[in-house]
Chains A and B, each alone.
Chain A
Amino acid sequence: MKATGGWAVLSLLATAALFACGRPASPEPDTARLLAQREAHGDLHDRLAKAVGADALAARAFADTGQVIIAIRSRLIEDLMVAVARQYLDRVAIDLADLETQAHGGIHAKTFLGRIKVGDWRVEVVIDHLLGRLEAGTPRLRFRGENVLDVDLPVKVRAAPGRVAIRFFWDSASVVNLLCRDFELRNDLDGRVLSQTHTLSGALRVVAAGDSVTVVPEFTNRTVQLKLDLAPQSWTTVDGALRSQDSLGRCGILLKPEDILKRLRELAAAGIKVRLPDSIFRTVRLPAGLEHAVHIDGRVVQLVVTTNSLRMGSQMLWSSASVHLKDRSPGR
């Protein structure tokens, strides 16, 4: 209140001074009209001075020592970030080639010698070629404090076809290696990434960057499990390949193809771990900033801009800067 009262007096004095300095040395007497105007003006000025004290935003600005203050409603920032996420991340193509996952297990059998291990199997799934497409949904933003918004970003993965290599390895235990050989199967198959949605959780940090205010995304955990599947005919092919080993001397007789297929399906459903590149998240410059030079009728005035403070609250981002002429000492 003191501050606002102070500005009122200063403001009135400053305006009066402008006229007093310019008034002729021997002014003629004021007219009644001028006196009435001054009285009406003074009354309104006093009423404004009293009312201004109740305005929180004005009071905050008067308490700020910056020459330029830029205040942006948090809601606008959130709206812009939602728009950026939905439009910029609307057409993300991600190359999933060479990603792989694997599973393994052992097979035991009951024999007259008791339960013995007959061998180990291992299956590898490698994506040969698959171009996925991601789309961001509407992010959920929550003000955390300290210039940070927490964000949950839904990422939709579109179904997309591709080629997948499945390698199956059988390693017979030494005791049965006399009866049957190790073998390896490889099939290049039609596969696909399934339609799915993942939620990435991270934060948006608002920072002063020179003459601008930027929103910097921070997503430390960018890993998603991409669920895959094989085309129906591909499953048939795998099933057939496993069953082709089901003969004496090839050890497939010890395998249960349906069990292996089940593990393969579980493997595909669990998905392949994909760490999304950091570059998917971009720093965004907010649309209001400061300029280092202004032009006045063809003349250029260079300025030095120094950010005094930047604070984002639940309602508003408040940025204050000192702006001085470049070639002159501050405060001139």
Chain B
Amino acid sequence: MSSRWVLLGSGLPLLALPIYLLAPPLGLEPVPSAEEAVLAKQTEGLRDLVAAAERGSLVDCDQILVVVDQSLVQGILTAILPVQGDVGGGFHVRIDSANAAFGDSVALVRLEGEASVPGRAASAHVTVYGGLEVFEVLPDTGLLRSVVTVYGVEVPRADVLGVDERTLARATHAGLDALLHSIEVPVRLENRLALPAVRAKRLRIPATELPLQVGVSKVQVFGGKLWVCLGAALAGASPSAKSGTGT
């Protein structure tokens, strides 16, 4: 196994990473590579997908299904590049390219860029493997948002900066939270049906709002697409969807 592939907490939201940074070094124990981390996630998710597919209920949405192609997410990510900033530990990271590959239950994104130390000419190539997780409907805008979770960071030539790979990878991993925390998908879910008042010559109808409980009930990833199931229930009626988040 390559020691240059460094896993920094599979599936851990970036917010939890400061805890990880405070944890003791892994020592001589083998560290799973980013590839292993993604394979593990995919294998776990694939089991569920295969089971659902073989039951004949792969895409089983009762109410609303949103399908998003990976090319759109990649385009959106690319549009905001480059992103850069200090990631801690005295390192500066600049992300220049992004690729998205949605398959086998993981909405994988690969970010590539350079890590540097201010005042030094040298820089090291950085590759971040992450995924879109924790989908939710934002209550204020109704937009669908996902959190970017980092699966692993790879820094093959950290030594050019005079540090070991693990140190730089950890800093990059933790600091990416500030650089790229979440991604919105351009799908809007209304939390109400609003009907304006009518004041015509013969007619008077007061304005009406029908509150809706809208939430993500299930997210699947396969075939280059995100498959997001959403529930919408009139408030007061028995909700058929979680109002919180789904992954």
Contacts and interface: CB of A to CB of B under 8 A. Distances in A.
A117 interface: no
A28 B2 contact: yes
Contacts of A89: 205
Interface string B199-241: 0111111101010101000000011110100101010000000
Nearest to B33: A34
B186 A287 contact: no
Interface residues of B, number: 93
B168 to A, nearest CB: 15
Interface string A204-228: 0000000100000000000000000
B89 interface: no
B76 A296 contact: yes
B198 A279 contact: yes
Interface stretch (A49-57, A181-189, A241-249): A49-57
Contacts of B200: 277, 279
A45 B47 CA distance: 9
Contacts of A54: 53, 56
A262 interface: no
Interface residues of A, number: 88
Interface in A129-173: none
B187 A70 contact: yes
Nearest to B127: A22
A84 B232 contact: no
A290 B75 contact: no
A324 B75 contact: yes
A52 B222 contact: yes
Interface string A57-94: 11001101011111111001001100110011101111
A291 interface: yes
Interface string A296-327: 11010101010000000000000000011100
Contacts of A51: 50, 53-54, 58
A205 B129 CA distance: 46
Interface of A: 4, 7-8, 10-12, 14-15, 17-19, 21-22, 24-25, 27-28, 30-31, 33-34, 37-38, 40-41, 44-45, 47-48, 51-52, 54-55, 57-58, 61-62, 64, 66-73, 76, 79-80, 83-84, 87-89, 91-96, 211, 276-277, 279-280, 282, 284-285, 287-297, 299, 301, 303, 305, 323-325, 328, 332
6 contacts: A14-B103, A34-B36, A47-B50, A51-B58, A58-B223, A276-B203
